[in-house]
Structure 1
Amino acid sequence: MSAEVLITSMEKLCKLHESLYDLAVKKTDIMKIGDMDTLNQLLIDEQTHIAAIDRMKKECQNASRILTPHIDQPTVSDCMDYLTTTEQEKIKEVTNELVQLVLSLKEQNNLNQQLIHNSLQFVNVSLSLLRPQPEEINYGPPTKIKKSSNINTQGMFSSKA
């Protein structure tokens, strides 16, 4: 019974990751367009997916604990000894699919991160071009002393007098 729960929860986990990947692809397109309202809604949807993924992960952990009660933090590999060969094959298949989805999601998120970084650089360059550069403020003596033509450059004391 626990094996079926584990397989079912892992399949749901795959579907949630696939849906999250689709959202990440949509996010890339939305960032290219610059539609902030749609991007905000998409971020809310992502948070919902992430919360659902956390719930499914906990469900998978609970099912694996039931299969292997003597192990504190069992992994999928730990559960394999307690499954039939058909269940083992199904778990391997779902695990491989999940790994591929996570790698694809990671690549897409890296692309999105680069897009955000480039956008921020563009904004910073634009702002630096638009705002005036402040003059340097020094608290010491001025570096250039203006010499007036009225003052005798030899000094105030005249030896000829």
Structure 2
Amino acid sequence: MESLNKLIQTLEEMTDAHTRLLGLAEEKRTILVDGNIQELQSLINRESSCVNEIEKLEQKRMQFVQVYLAQKGLTGQSFTLEELINIQNDATTKTTLDYITNQLRGLIEKITQMNESNQQLIHTSLSYIQYSMGMLVRKEPSIGYGPYAKSRYSNMLDAKV
């Protein structure tokens, strides 16, 4: 029973970590819109440490699940939270695990949506930068004929005004 309590505590810690990660994703959206590169770098570092924390918590979760299942006499490589909920006899524990599972699932969906939105913002920004650079550094072939013509390109930055 102690391993089940530790599992629930770890799942709650995972929920907290995912909530922080969602907050960082929302903050990233604002930073991307503002175009603040220094803040973006700082945020990416915080995001990375949050992801590392989630990975460590996931390892702990897997350990506690294996210990709990071994105590119940069940064996297997990995069990989902749904399978763990289904083998519960206690209604309170079942409800707690179900609630935490739904919270985690919802947070992960929101994080995924926010990351996709941020990725689209980044893609749009890069497209705009490429377009702007293309306007400034447009390559137009020099006029020349025959095998001795130079294959030189001019651009707007080279033009005399």
Q: Verify same fold: TM over 0.5.
A: yes
Cα distance between partner residues in 2 of 1:100 and 1:132: 47
Cα distance between partner residues in 2 of 1:39 and 1:104: 20
Aligned residues: 142
Alpha-carbon spacing, 1:141–1:10, altered in 2? closer, same or farther (3 Å):
same
Match of 1:12 in 2: 13
Q: If the length of structure 1 is used for normalisation, what is the TM-score?
A: 0.82
User: Deviations along 1:73-112, whole A, 9 cap, x unmatched?
Assistant: 1221232214522111100000000000001111110110
Query: Are 1:73 and 2:78 counterparts?
Result: yes
Cα distance between partner residues in 2 of 1:133 and 1:99: 50
Cα distance between partner residues in 1 of 2:29 and 2:110: 14
**Percent identity (aligned):** 25
Cα distance between partner residues in 2 of 1:60 and 1:82: 17
Q: Determine if contact 1:3/1:63 at 8 Å carries over to the other structure.
A: yes
User: Deviations along 1:106-158, whole A, 9 cap, x unmatched?
Assistant: 1110110000000000000001100131417999769xxxxxxxxxxxxxxxx
Partner SS state of residue 43, structure 2: helix
Unaligned residue ranges in structure 1 (runs of 5+): 143-161
Q: Determine if contact 1:64/1:75 at 8 Å carries over to the other structure.
A: no
Match of 2:99 in 1: 93
Unaligned residue ranges in structure 2 (runs of 5+): 149-161
Q: If the length of structure 2 is used for normalisation, what is the TM-score?
A: 0.82
Q: Determine if contact 1:3/1:83 at 8 Å carries over to the other structure.
A: no
Match of 2:37 in 1: 36
Alpha-carbon spacing, 1:132–1:83, altered in 2? closer, same or farther (3 Å):
same
Equivalent position to 1:120, from 126, 150, 153: 126
Q: Determine if contact 1:64/1:76 at 8 Å carries over to the other structure.
A: no
Q: CA RMSD in A?
A: 2.0
